[in-house]
A and B are shown apart, each in its own frame.
Chain A
Amino acid sequence: MLEVRDVHLSFGGIKALQGVSFAAKPGEITGVIGPNGAGKTSLFNAISGFYQPDRGQVFFGGNDISHLSPDRRAEMGIARTFQNIALFRGMTVLDNIKLGGHTRLRTGLWSALSYFGPARREELELRREIEEKVIDFLEIDHIRKYPITILPYGLQKRVELGRALAMQPKVLLLDEPVAGMNREETADMARFILDVQEQFGITVLLVEHDMHMVMDICSHIVVLNFGQQIASGTPAEVSGDPGVIEAYLGAAA
């Protein structure tokens, strides 16, 4: 489904990624962990196309997508959320989520200008679908007309997940979805992520610091440290790996 092969990326002197290779298991949740600055977000940026790797490739569904623009990759079915929430702040929750449906809609300029007819049909169909598959699913009915700015942080994270789900993606990249959340919000979000994987069969790539959550819901874990991939395997394998314990778990303890 999604595979990165020997990806190298540097910013000036900083080597953010040095030979990262792994394949996300289709329909499962793969965790990417590592201390701050390990290169997790850079990896996501290389996968979604914001950064061009110095070396190595990204494959999606068997095709090399390394040279495609971010919007082309999104169109193919790669969705993501950002570590620092990148919602459209001036819009309502509903409009944000509708934007997630962009690539699935067909309305072009001419039918948009006349609206009544095919464009209207498509828009109402999108609305119905979003209400059923995203808004109900994430339990955000009560805030659909709210502007993003007045929502608490935890809900904003949930709306951003909703916007990504509206794309009906094949692969979903989540960059620290529970960072800064309290215990209850974290539990909710973990449940939603599991539901996303179970109900929709979406392949999930998850960057997260909350080790309990990562160990709980991921079937496979990749560990980065200073841009290097120091381990990869099941939660049990990874948490028993001496290198990982030293570099990450040890440092955290």
Chain B
Amino acid sequence: MITGDLKATYAADERVLNNGYKQAFVLAMAALCALMPFIANDYIILVASQMGIMLIAVVGVNVVIGYTGLLSLGHAAFMAIGAYSVPILHRLMDNIGLPDGIMPFIAIPGAIAISAIVGIIVGLPSLRVKGLYLAVATLSANFIIIFLIELEALAPWTGGLVGLNTPDPNILGWVFDTQREMFALIAALAFVTILAIQNLFRTRVGRAFIAIRERDYSAEILGISLFRYKLMSFAISAACCRLAGALFAYFYARILPEQFELALSLQLVAALIVGGMGRTMGPVFGVMIIVMVPEVLKFTFGMVAGGAAEVAQLRAPVQEIVFGLLIIFFLMFEPLGINQLVDRGIRALNRWPFARG
């Protein structure tokens, strides 16, 4: 073990990007995101935007599952609330005659609050039950939200089964009506989200979450209220998912209830498992893989079969199988995910060529 990382001040010792590789990676990602709207083709912009939206959601899922240790399978519901509240709030604001240019400033935070509150309600079972029971309880929240969205009585607002058209965000007069512009917005918000959540874990608030995951009665004995912090964790993760959902609504022209079903919740959890639970970069690595898999499959199926319909039909099931295999592989062989592999790689590089192991 290397322990010779003596620092001159406590401030230096508490830094997050504490080695050159991490600094370089973050700088490279920032530069890449800044340049992409100018150089990338439409396809790459589309895929990268999907990654950004999903990343924000998985960062939220990481707070509750990865850091607080509460297994929740209902996060697609929070994305649904985020997505649906955009057109609905826009319509309400239209009715009272607010100018378009300030609507996103109300729609985004306004509904983050709504989702945070729903998050707290969905989080209530976590005060009583753990593990699988909690997973089932949160799962049912997912079903309830989809049920409400599809409900005939609410269809005038939610569009029911056929979904809703969504507006383009108009930010102070600048309408983000191209995917390129949306990508820039998504990327910026993804960076802000990761940074804010990372900050959380440099303070007592984030430490309290981890303490609850590690040993809840020890957390209590140190004065950490399980009630307060478990619900706070749910609220934060719901808020992230809601932001992702809002961006989803702004990005696509139309939203449908089926986009927010269990499959999406599972995809979010899969990305977290593959990337690495309870680590800042886990969601980043995980989302890259989970969004890439369908694209790679699309590409290979296209190469192998050309346009043959009977082969193309196999793509969806093959995709599910690949997701399943990835989850099983990581749970069995690398439960801490790609993040752990990367850490190990960095440690090996640091040591090279002086020692092995």
Kindly provide the distance from the CB of A95 to the nearest chain B CB, expressed in whole angstroms.
7
Please judge, given known A-B contacts A124-B11, A127-B10, whether A48 and B221 are in contact too, CB under 8 Å: yes
Number of interface residues of A (CB under 8 A): 47
Q: Is B196 an interface residue (CB 8 A)?
A: yes
Does A86 contact B221, Cβ atoms closer than 8 Å?
A: yes
Does B204 contact A70, Cβ atoms closer than 8 Å?
A: no
Does B223 contact A71, Cβ atoms closer than 8 Å?
A: yes
Please judge, given known A-B contacts A107-B205, A123-B202, A124-B14, whether A71 and B226 are in contact too, CB under 8 Å: yes
Kindly provide the distance from the CB of A30 to the nearest chain B CB, expressed in whole angstroms.
19
Does B14 contact A112, Cβ atoms closer than 8 Å?
A: no
The number of residue pairs between A and B whose CB atoms lie closer than 8 Å in the complex comes to 116
Does B222 contact A109, Cβ atoms closer than 8 Å?
A: no
Number of interface residues of B (CB under 8 A): 34
Q: Is A88 an interface residue (CB 8 A)?
A: yes
Kindly provide the distance from the CB of B145 to the nearest chain A CB, expressed in whole angstroms.
24
Does A74 contact B220, Cβ atoms closer than 8 Å?
A: yes
Kindly provide the distance from the CB of B116 to the nearest chain A CB, expressed in whole angstroms.
10
Q: How far is the CA of A82 from the CA of B3 in the complex (A)?
A: 29
Q: Which residues 1-33 of B sit at the A interface, judged by CB distance below 8 A?
A: 1, 3, 5, 10-11, 13-14
Kindly provide the distance from the CB of A144 to the nearest chain B CB, expressed in whole angstroms.
10
Residues in B whose Cβ lies below 8 Å from that of A124 = 10-11, 14
Contact indicator per residue, chain A 17-45, by CB within 8 Å of chain B (1) or not (0): 00000000000000000000000000000
Residues in B whose Cβ lies below 8 Å from that of A71 = 219-226
Does A80 contact B221, Cβ atoms closer than 8 Å?
A: yes
Contact indicator per residue, chain A 147-178, by CB within 8 Å of chain B (1) or not (0): 00010000000000001000100000000000
Please judge, given known A-B contacts A50-B217, A86-B215, A88-B214, whether A163 and B222 are in contact too, CB under 8 Å: yes
Does B222 contact A86, Cβ atoms closer than 8 Å?
A: no
Residues in A whose Cβ lies below 8 Å from that of B196 = 113-114
Q: Is B107 an interface residue (CB 8 A)?
A: no
Contacting chain B: which of A8-16, A97-105, A234-242? A97-105
Does B205 contact A99, Cβ atoms closer than 8 Å?
A: no
Residues in A whose Cβ lies below 8 Å from that of B197 = 113
Does B211 contact A112, Cβ atoms closer than 8 Å?
A: no
Q: Is A91 an interface residue (CB 8 A)?
A: yes
Q: Which residues 172-205 of B sit at the A interface, judged by CB distance below 8 A?
A: 196-197, 199-200, 202-205
Q: Is B210 an interface residue (CB 8 A)?
A: yes
The closest CB in chain B to the CB of A115 belongs to B199
Q: Is B327 an interface residue (CB 8 A)?
A: no
Q: Is A108 an interface residue (CB 8 A)?
A: yes
Does A123 contact B14, Cβ atoms closer than 8 Å?
A: yes
The closest CB in chain A to the CB of B203 belongs to A112
Does A105 contact B211, Cβ atoms closer than 8 Å?
A: no
Kindly provide the distance from the CB of A22 to the nearest chain B CB, expressed in whole angstroms.
22
Q: Is B254 an interface residue (CB 8 A)?
A: no
Does A167 contact B205, Cβ atoms closer than 8 Å?
A: no
Does A88 contact B10, Cβ atoms closer than 8 Å?
A: no
B interface with A by C-beta (< 8 Å): 1, 3, 5, 10-11, 13-14, 196-197, 199-200, 202-208, 210-211, 214-215, 217-226, 232, 236
Can you list 27 A-B contacts with CB-CB less than 8 angstroms, sorted by A residue number? A71-B220, A71-B225, A72-B223, A74-B222, A86-B215, A86-B221, A87-B218, A88-B210, A88-B211, A88-B218, A98-B207, A102-B207, A102-B211, A102-B222, A102-B224, A112-B203, A112-B206, A113-B196, A115-B203, A119-B202, A122-B203, A123-B203, A124-B10, A127-B13, A127-B14, A131-B10, A163-B222
A interface with B by C-beta (< 8 Å): 48, 50, 69-72, 74-75, 79-80, 82, 86-91, 95, 98-103, 105, 107-109, 111-116, 119-120, 122-124, 127-128, 131, 145-146, 150, 163, 167
